[in-house]
Amino acid sequence: MPYLKNQKLHLYYEIIGTGTPIVFIHPPVMGSETFRYQKQLAENYQLIFIDLIDSGRSSKRVEETSVPDQAKMIHALVSELKLPPVILCGYSNGSSTAQEFALSYPEMTKGLILIGGFSEVSTFLLNQEFNLGILAAKNKMMNLLSFGLPVAHFRSKDHQREMAHFIKQSDGPTLQRIYEDGKRYKSTGRLKQIQVPVLLIYGKRDIITKPYAMKFFKELKDVDVILVDGVAHQVPTKRPDQCNTIIDEWIKRKKIN
């Protein structure tokens, strides 16, 4: 298994396909299994999947849990692999890390795809989502997370079990800090600095993160917003074919492939 290693942590990653590189960034604790249905994009692109800290096969007890810390880890991997400028695809809270990467390393960013993304936690519903995550991690309720997150995302029992297996191994204090740092993160005032094309994907039924689309639309120079029918937040897993087609067509239309 390939790992990015230093003295403090090991980060698992997987690479498939060839072409323009797309780096997929998952939400806390869910790991790269989140994007299992996006692997069909390897027909046209080089896909890089990474298990971030306290997720999947990567290190569990880590002090560097902030969004900038995680963007730095992804930059270290991109540099280690000697990749050209990449497209970042962040889902849910993973979109914060994708934004921070684009802001911190513009020379290494070719495009930005945010699925269910937000630039800050400023609404009641999203704030409550983070509070629930913090509460579960603080009280070491990994069994609750290992049931709720997989069931919310996958219909396949096998896929639910695979994600649940990794979630149960999570370290509560580390996960709590990840949620707390994510809750504090804010990029809204810096969005104008992002000069690359940005694609926003939301489920039409998403009442938690879809309201943030307007913040992006007002601040970004080059942004497309696409709403997906028949789904709330879980677009990559509940509407994978539509999600993949939207990504592929956007990359080709923007000529960043």
Q: Which domains does the chain have, with CATH numbers?
A: 3-254 (3.40.50.1820)
The answer to whether 87 and 64 have CB atoms below 8 angstroms apart is no
Of the candidates 48, 67, 36, the one whose C-alpha atom is nearest the C-alpha of residue 4 is: 48
pLDDT at 159: 96
Label residues 177-214 b or e (16+ Cβ within 10 Å = b).
bbbbbbbebebbeebeebebbbbbbbbeebebbbebbe
Stretch 220-237: mean pLDDT: 97
Stretch 114-141: mean pLDDT: 94
Of the candidates 127, 129, 86, the one whose C-alpha atom is nearest the C-alpha of residue 110 is: 86
pLDDT at 152 over 90: yes
Of the candidates 128, 46, 89, 101, the one whose C-alpha atom is nearest the C-alpha of residue 243 is: 89
Stretch 133-143: mean pLDDT: 89
Q: Band the pLDDT of 113: cuts 50, 70, 90.
A: very high
- Residue 229: how many other CB atoms lie within 10 Å: 9
The answer to whether 154 and 240 have CB atoms below 8 angstroms apart is no
pLDDT at 102: 98
pLDDT at 224: 97
Stretch 46-61: mean pLDDT: 94
pLDDT at 165: 92
Tokens 């889902």 appear where? Answer: 91
Helices (H), 111-256: 124-138, 142-153, 157-167, 172-184, 213-219, 235-238, 240-254
pLDDT at 6: 80
- Percent of the chain past pLDDT 70, that is, above it, reads 100
Inter-CA distances, 103 with 74, 189, 192, Å: 13, 11, 10
pLDDT at 178: 97
pLDDT at 31 over 80: yes
pLDDT at 114: 98
pLDDT at 257: 82
Stretch 182-211: mean pLDDT: 97
**Summary mean pLDDT of the chain:** 95
Task: Compute the 3-state secondary structure of the chain and give helix, strand, coil in percent, each to the nearest 5.
Answer: 50, 20, 35
pLDDT at 108 over 90: yes
SS3 215: helix
Stretch 90-104: mean pLDDT: 98
Of the candidates 99, 46, 92, 39, the one whose C-alpha atom is nearest the C-alpha of residue 74 is: 99
pLDDT at 54 over 90: yes
d(CA 225, CA 217): 8
